[in-house]
Amino acid sequence: MYNARLSELFDEIADMLSLDEKSDRRFEVLAYRKAAMTIGSMQEDIGEIYKKEGVDGLMRLPGIGKGISASIREYIETGRMRKYDSLKEKYPIDFNAITRVPGIGAKQAFKLYKALKIRNIEDLKKAIAKHRISKIAGFGEKSENEISKGIMQLESSKGRMPIGTALPEAEALVKRLNESGLVERAAIGGSTRRMKETVGDLDILVTSSHADRVIKFISKLDEVQDVTLSGPTKTTVWLKIGISCDIRVVKDKSFGAALQYFTGNKDHNVKVRQIAIKKGYKLNEYGMFDKKGRNVSGPEEESIYSKLGMDIMDPEMREDLGEVELSIRHKLPRIVQINDIKGDLHVHTDHSDGYNSITEMAEYAKSLGRQYIGITDHTKSEYVAHGMNDAQFRKHFDDIDRANELVKGIRILKSAEIDILKDGSLDLKDSTLEMMDYRLASVHTSLAMSKVDMTRRVITAIESGYVDILAHPTDRIINTRNPIDMDLDKVFQSAHDNNVVLEVDGHPDRMDLNDENIRKAKEYNAKFSISTDSHRTTHLNMMRYGVSTAKRAWVTPEIVINAMDVGRMLKELSG
Ligand code: DGT
Ligand code: CA
Ligand code: CA
Ligand code: ZN
């Protein structure tokens, strides 16, 4: 799959163009950033689009013009991009790695390069050890410390890739294997199948009677950078997107047992195996064998569980958190499924920092089967995100009325993502808030408050009576920004007392609340809104990440407000 690599290349081109001191390349920079965003958030493989529809197919994508589609084609055809290569000669810096350090953008990276020839994180670490950063103009002691802290934070999360990058890549690999003609079945296993928010490596299971040919085929895939390990029935490869992938080949009759085994997690497997032993079976990745050595596992995963007297559960539940015991007693809860979802209550448009119009978002949501969407553009304090003031919101609501007349078959709701200001007050007048169908509020700025102050700030907002949904409650960004320091118990209690719904923001950079916090919130009888926080049409597909996060915390559909019809949902919110 080319998406992640192309997106990184374009981001880096934008970084490098922004450093041009001689001419203003602002529009070019913007074009490359947009392309990087479009491609980075696409779930379908851009290589496939090119293969099927050529350059025309590429140009139909939002934000992809002639020049950029030519570069995409060049890269797919030749593995190189001249534009990138020539810029790289001038700026031999690993921007993607260095700009991931908090506090370092492209400009700072270039300054570091000019002053100390720093090209990558290793160089940066050496310079910090010698206290050389603080002596560069514009940096100082404080920023040296922050950079040092940032590197440590980055390294502690190193190696685990967000599910939003890992899953599409694994799906693309499975598709290639299925199309190879060499395999009977191919499936994703491991933490990717369990939809953990980050994954350590990909695990793919293949059934074939030509393991040797499958393994050779994999080693030649364009996605593969190196073969780390290669045996007769398994191989481990390092993928170009920067993650390892284990691939196992078994015979088709072992598929169910192997999938059960490789899905895990390990603790879940250990318990299931103990049950098998008690019932007189031997269970491993090749099958379930009775006393006479006959394989009784059957071709599917399900038959293993049923032979053991258990109900099968979704992979998201297999974390040994009590699911095994409940499954034996046939008492597993009926957890929320993607098909339960009727609407999406966190959606941005080009009225603030989104890319598409209200009608485009609504049409796309309708095509996904949603019955309603809530438009939640930013408020004025979020000026970098083009947040709107009260007067602009009034006009914006007229636009939503018009959009509702234009797009039939889906209800477009009036809302906003209202900034919770430093003192806990809301960023719009009450009269504007009253014009909305519901209100979403979140913290975006002044994140470095003390725990006591932050807790008070959020609870003040919750108690205002004007908040219906608390969006991305902890404000963390996976692998980039820690959660805000806040007393979650107090916030969850207050949310319950004030009938405020908690969001499960399914954007894979956020996943907020995460599975662990959802479990905690459930103890306070919380209700949830599972949303995508979409900033363009294709983001609306990311609902599956939010739903799986909720599934990992055993959320049932009755406590998910956007699993309700619009009428009941709004009634629920107004309490
Ligand atoms: P990750 O990669 O760290 O995100 O997490 P997983 O769960 O994908 O772990 P991984 O890749 O080490 O192994 C994939 C699956 O293989 C795991 O979920 C369960 C199974 N597995 C691995 N090691 C063992 C083991 O020692 N015993 C048993 N029963 N199963 C194992
Ligand atoms: Ca894994
Ligand atoms: Ca693995
Ligand atoms: Zn948002």
For range 102-107, the mean pLDDT: 82
For range 437-460, the mean pLDDT: 95
| 266, 268, 270, 324: residue to mutate for ligand 1 pocket, most atoms within 8 A of CB | 266
**Domains recognised in the chain with CATH numbers:** 3-149 (1.10.150.110), 157-250 (3.30.460.10), 252-332 (3.30.210.10), 338-574 (3.20.20.140)
Pocket flag, ligand 1, residue 270 (CB < 6 Å): yes
Pocket flag, ligand 1, residue 265 (CB < 6 Å): yes
Positions of E strands within 451-523: 469-470, 501-505
**What's the half-sphere exposure (Cβ side, CA atoms, 13 Å) at 485?**
7
For range 125-151, the mean pLDDT: 86
- The answer to whether residues 346 and 534 touch, using CB atoms and an 8 Å cutoff, is yes
Task: Tell me, in angstroms, the distance from the centre of ligand 3 to residue 261's CA.
Answer: 11
pLDDT bin (cut points 50, 70, 90) of residue 308 is: very high
H or E element: which one contains 163?
Answer: helix 163-179
3-state DSSP assignment of residue 283: strand
pLDDT bin (cut points 50, 70, 90) of residue 102 is: confident
Per-residue confidence (pLDDT) for residue 42, from 0 to 100: 79
Distances (CA, A) of 511 to 182, 376, 485, 550: 37, 18, 17, 10
Tell me the pLDDT tens digit for each residue of 492-544.
999 999 999 999 999 999 999 999 999 999 999 999 999 999 999 999 999 99
Minimal-distance CA residue to ligand 1 atom 23: 266
Tell me the pLDDT tens digit for each residue of 454-468.
999 999 999 999 999
Task: Indicate whether 103 pLDDT > 80.
Answer: no
Instruction: Give the integer Cα–Cα distance in Å for 122 and 129.
Output: 11
Q: Sign (positive/negative) of CA torsion 97, 103, 109, 110?
A: positive
Instruction: Give the integer Cα–Cα distance in Å for 372 and 392.
Output: 23
Pocket flag, ligand 1, residue 190 (CB < 6 Å): yes
Pocket flag, ligand 1, residue 258 (CB < 6 Å): no
- The answer to whether residues 43 and 58 touch, using CB atoms and an 8 Å cutoff, is no
| 229, 234, 269: residue to mutate for ligand 1 pocket, most atoms within 8 A of CB | 269
Output phi, psi for 230, to 5 deg.
Answer: -140, 120
Q: What is the DSSP string of 554-567?
A: T--GGGBGGGS-HH
Instruction: Give the integer Cα–Cα distance in Å for 372 and 176.
Output: 35
What would the two tokens of residue 354 be? 């989104």
Residue 106 CB contacts under 8 Å (≥ 6 apart), including other chains: 15, 16, 18, 19, 95, 99
Instruction: Give the integer Cα–Cα distance in Å for 325 and 211.
Output: 37
Task: Tell me, in angstroms, the distance from the centre of ligand 2 to residue 162's CA.
Answer: 12
Minimal-distance CA residue to ligand 1 atom 9: 190
Distances (CA, A) of 36 to 10, 50, 221, 265, 476: 5, 16, 23, 34, 22
For the CA atoms of 509, 12, 236, 177, the dihedral, rounded to the nearest 10 degrees, stands at 80
pTM: 0.81
Which ligand has the minimum distance to the alpha carbon of residue 318?
1
Tell me the pLDDT tens digit for each residue of 146-198.
888 888 777 766 668 999 999 999 999 999 999 999 999 999 999 999 999 99
Pocket flag, ligand 1, residue 533 (CB < 6 Å): no
Which atom of ligand 1 is the closest one to the Cα of 270? 29
For range 249-256, the mean pLDDT: 94
Closest CA to 471 of 479, 481, 482, 462: 462
Minimal-distance CA residue to ligand 1 atom 5: 191
Pocket flag, ligand 1, residue 200 (CB < 6 Å): yes
Task: Tell me, in angstroms, the distance from the centre of ligand 4 to residue 163's CA.
Answer: 19
Residue written as token pair 């895939």? 221
Query: What average pLDDT does the chain have?
Result: 93
Minimal-distance CA residue to ligand 1 atom 30: 266
Minimal-distance CA residue to ligand 1 atom 22: 266
3-state DSSP assignment of residue 378: strand
Which ligand has the minimum distance to the alpha carbon of residue 264?
1
